[in-house]
């Protein structure tokens, strides 16, 4: 029986391709080596170059900070202890030292500009309010007490706002437009926040908070 006649053309072609295969040839290892390199994990102690640069950069600034602190001590002597590290400079990672006092006016203007804060003199005068004469616009008056923490009281006239209404506009529903922690109820001309405590039983601390505009509620008793 002639088996060649029984083979299909595709089988014959595959047999010819197998016959051309050289078992003695060395295998091509380029692709295998490339794949192994891609799959190999990074060494634990290997750090990206960017990390090393950042660390070196930070070490240089630390060296500058120590150098400035040393020079500050040599120049100011004992007064050097009054200086503090500049929070603005430290925010950018650069060293600097300042005195714990308000900066000059020109420096304040530059800081406000950087913070995008407009100075008060750029705003127009409000036509429906004026400075409170009782507290000179500070919102607090002296109590005369010598007890620490009790020297000042919330201004009774302006309820701590520092201003009083001119006309009825600020006291007729527009008192919501106030600044600071004071609420609408504490604004000048507005109806004071009602007390939920029986007359004569409200602690002075609660009264003081209420004058500042806080809403104080009595504790809720759960159960019997």
Residue ranges of the domains in the chain?
Answer: 59-122, 124-219
Closest CA to 84 of 100, 103, 69: 100
Residues 212, 180: contact at Cβ < 8 Å?
Answer: no
From residue 7, how far is each of 17, 18, 20 by CA, in Å? Answer: 15, 15, 19
**pTM, 2 dp:** 0.37
What would the pLDDT profile of 98-145 be if each residue is shown by its tens digit? 998 888 888 888 888 888 888 888 889 999 999 999 999 999 999 999
DSSP state of 218: P
Burial of 194 (0-12, 13-18, 19+ CB in 10 A): exposed
Per residue in 191-204, pLDDT tens?
444 444 555 566 77
């Amino acid at each position: 029986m002639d088996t060649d006649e029984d083979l299909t053309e595709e089988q014959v072609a595959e047999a010819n391709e197998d016959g051309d295969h050289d078992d003695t040839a060395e295998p091509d290892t380029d692709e295998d080596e490339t794949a192994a390199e891609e799959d190999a994990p990074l060494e634990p102690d290997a750090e990206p170059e960017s990390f090393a640069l950042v660390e070196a950069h930070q070490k240089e600034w630390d060296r500058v900070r120590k150098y400035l602190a040393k020079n500050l001590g040599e120049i100011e002597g004992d007064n050097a202890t009054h200086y503090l590290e500049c929070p603005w400079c430290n925010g950018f990672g650069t060293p600097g030292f300042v005195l714990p006092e308000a900066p000059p006016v020109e420096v304040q203007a530059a800081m406000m500009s950087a913070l995008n804060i407009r100075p008060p003199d750029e705003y127009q005068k409000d036509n429906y309010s004026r400075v409170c004469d009782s507290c000179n616009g500070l919102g607090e008056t002296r109590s005369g007490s010598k007890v620490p923490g009790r020297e000042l009281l919330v201004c009774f006239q302006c309820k701590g706002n520092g201003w009083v209404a001119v006309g009825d506009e600020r006291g007729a529903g527009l008192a919501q437009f106030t600044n600071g922690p004071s609420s609408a109820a504490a604004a000048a001309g507005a109806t004071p926040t009602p007390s939920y405590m029986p007359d004569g039983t409200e602690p002075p601390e609660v009264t003081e908070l209420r004058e500042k505009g806080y809403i104080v509620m009595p504790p809720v008793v759960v159960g019997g």
